[in-house]
Structure 1
Amino acid sequence: MFKQIRNYILNLSIRKKFFLGYIFASILPIFFITMYSYNITKRNLIEQNSVNMQNSLTQINSNIERKLETYSKSSSLIYLNDTLKNYLTEDYTKNSVEDAYYYINSYFGNILILNPDISLVTVYTDNYTLSSDSYYIKHIDNSIKSEKWYDKVQTSTGNVIYGTTYKNSNGNYVFTLTRYLNSGRIGYPYGILVMTINESQLYSLIDKSAKNSYKYIVDENGSIISCRDKSNITKNIYKILNIDKSTLSNIGTKDINYKGKKMLVVCKSLENGWKTISMVSYSSFLDNAIKSASFIFIIFLFSVLLAVVLTYVISAIVTKRINVMVKQVKKVQDGNFNVEFKNMGNDEIGNLSSAFCNMSKKLKFLIEEVYEKELLKKQADMNVLQEQINPHFLYNALASISSLALKNNDKKVNQMTSLLGKFYRLSLNKGKNMFHVSDEIELTQYYIEIQKIRFQNLLNITFELDETLAEYKVPKLILQPFIENSINHGIFDDEKGINIIIKLYGQDGKIVFEVVDDGIGMDNNKLESILNQMSSLTEGFGIKNVNNRIKLYFGDEYGVQIFSKLNEGTQVKIILPMQQC
């Protein structure tokens, strides 16, 4: 069954495949999106709001911690003030208290000026010789000892204790920072510091809640320290929300019902034991989820209609161009490489048609190039065969001249003709165009000996040869033209002559011959002219002939390289592949 369906689809035209593909790609998402879009959106929004709420609380807690740290540092200034300690512990039975009042009033007054958050600073003391001023200085009496915070501060050993929020005589909500004054070297407590702080300063740190969200600061027992609805201050948050204390934790989020609404709740703790609580109703963000799901559903319904129209248009455009390409491919198949595409665009099909057109042109060029090279190679072989006819006659003639020179006792003529005969005998190579590296070296040595007879002491030629390369195959007569060029064009001092080094070595899997001389060299213009002539594969002689033969036999990566500077000499590199005979 599956195989039949697969074969049916494969046999459909591309246009029908496009059409069916677009239709199914549009209809199927509608079903899935209709079923899952709302739940997915709901889940994502809950996770997003949860993360946002936790990040928000983290920032709020950081701000609150900094604010409380400011209050704590202000209390530490008082806690560590030795002058204040001395005034609070002084026996005023016989001494005047005026200096103490003046110092305390000035010191505490400056603290209030520098810290607007603090509404009052009071020190409770059991030094009854220092009279109470009912504002900055008060005595520890039985009413104070009955306060809940009194027992707590006594066991705090000088640490900061924060009290619950209450409404003061001015109708403002405040909370207290209390601290036992037992610092110094007197060895006993000398008072209790109480700093009264405006609750509004804490609320300003959380007063950024949306309409359907709530934020609270509560103490370790759940008593509300600060919130939007001031009537809830001092009330217990767990009773207001009708939840257990264990419900609120620092890990993750919780769901609760509050005032008939489902709420998402996040809670985080502060270092002093307080907690910050953030609540937001689900309806505040799920309403948007419902609207989003409805909007998405409408978009996809529209997409189905649009897909039907676009499918028809796009499939028509695509298949039309494919049909054009098929026709051009058949032309190439029949041997006609002159293909051309018009108005195919710049998409994948357009790029494919352009690439196919370029490929056809390249294929045509390569076929013509290979054909031309084969013709040139055959012509070169014919030239070599033609050249070998003359050496046969010349060799026989040289043998006769050598015999006559020997009869006439002319040793130099005999030696030169003998060497020349050996040179041509070896160069004939039984009609072959390739022979061993060792044969090429031997042929070169014959030529050099002939030239030494002519130039005598003006030639100083040395060989630097890698003997392991002797059995590799190379075209014949590739060194002689360059040595001849060095001798004929390089000698510019008849007394000094010329030094020529002939090198043979292997490099990167290739055979390299070098002919290096210290002759007259050439300037850049002349060198460039020679190199330009070498780049042509047309018929040529000497240096150009060697370069052309190498490239015809082995390819463009091989051939001749020439480097030269005027009055400094010339270096020629002949690069060949390593081929065994």
Structure 2
Amino acid sequence: MKLITKMLLLIAMLMVPVIALYMYSNDQSIGVVEEQINIANQNRLKLFLEKIEGTMDQVSNYSNIITKDPDLYGMTGNALPADRYDYAVLVDSIERKLGLFSLSTDWMSRFSLYFPASGRAVSSHSSIVYDESYLTEHLSANWIFRPITVNGIPKRAFTRYFVEPYAGVTDLRQASIIVEVDLMEDNIVSLLDSFKSQGNNDPFLYKAPDGYVLNGTADGGIARRIIDSYDVAANVRAKNHDTIMLDNKRYLIYFFQSPKLGWTLIDYVPLADIVAPLTKSRYLFYVTVGLLLFLGGAAAYLLYVHVQVPVELLTESVSKLKKGQFSVRLPLNRNREFRRLIAQFNEMAAQIQHLVEKVYSEELRSKEAVMKQLQSQINPHFLYNSLAYIISMAKMNRPKPIEAMAYSLADYFKYTTRNVSMTTTIREEIDFVTSYMEIMNYQLNKICWRIAIPDSMQHMPIPRLLIQPVVENAIVHGLESKPDEGEIRIIGTDEADWCTITVEDDGAGLTAEELERLNGRIAQIETDGDSFGLWNVNQRLRHQFGGQSGIAIESSADGGLRVVLRWEKNEAAKEGDSHFFGSDRGRP
């Protein structure tokens, strides 16, 4: 996983619990605020409703006082003053007293008196006419909401009738005085406005089915939609507040029913307005979190660009150095710290390249020296036997074998002492091996051979003196001790990626245990003295063609040994045809 991914995951892991805790805390805070607001609003609404009821009770008490006034007894019954002046003075006195009662309260109210026995009526604000049919129809001991006219101005008011004695409620003929108290709607509106000015509330009075008393700035549409969408009457006894949704907005509604008025005081508050400070704080938090995430992402990106990218480049370059690509170099980074590190890496890579090339050159020279030293060790081994043969033939005065041996020996040493190049072709090596076997056959007179090499292998390069030691080993250790004739077969095989040359004899051979020990000694890094020629060939193949190349010794079907020289061929050696050149030779 990349560094930038880890950092982004870490930032997310840090921010997720913070956001979760904040959301939980915010929800809890909103819940607490909502609960406290519910309690506060309910208490305010209850006190407000008690204030309205208290004022109405005060006005109702005035009606009892009015009925006890002695001047009113002059209007009851049939004992009216006969003199019109006295009657006018009595009516004026009663109207002034009713006006004082109206002024004794902060509410705009109207007091009217009806005298059923005399059919007269008196009011504190305007002259009225006694209407027995209207009173009979509307007379009630409860507050009613009705339209009225005051001094020619239409208004709406809460009206209540007080009858003295009370039995006159059902029969006007039994009533001596009927007091009509009118509390103007403007009083309730003023109170609602005062209540609304203390907060975000929007109170109104409601009575089913369509009785509304709204405050002066109320949104009548919302008030009616609240009533249409929420059954206040069904819930007012169970609880005093609830939450509703209008236009995807939450509203807190509060409601108290007045048993004296028969109306319900309703108030609603948009929850968004209440929790506006918390909402603003939440938005600020989200903006802060977004800013932190952006800055964290930017920091992660900067770390990725200025740290991870240079580190990955360095890691990739080190891997290339490990694979042997010593020419790798990095462009200098703008970051000062990594610029110095990259510069030092480039300097180190250059030094490593120089040292590796130097070591490689020294290794090549060392391998070349080793192969020349190995070649120099091969030559004396054969020279002694050849000179011994010539001396023997000279003593026997046989010039022809001496001449043939001398020519063959000259060709042999001409080939072995030519150190201009460390490599030769398989054709030249086979010609040299043929000369060697002819020389050995002059001495032993019992060797025959058969050679089969594909034409595609004739011009393949191999180390000089590679096959001759194997043939020499077959003659010395396999055929010399054999009483009758012996045969050597040299077979070449050109495969897809590998070349093999098999040298097989029908000599004495080795047991399985001896063969296993011989293969083990040849595979060693250093020889212990035995089988030096075969060990030498194996080492030269490995030096020339790589560690997978070498020789393997097996038992031959004819009883002798089979030595297989195997090496991986290069691209140039893979071309050519598959014809064979070969020879079958016996004794001369």
Give the TM-score normalised by structure 2.
0.39
Give the TM-score normalised by structure 1.
0.39
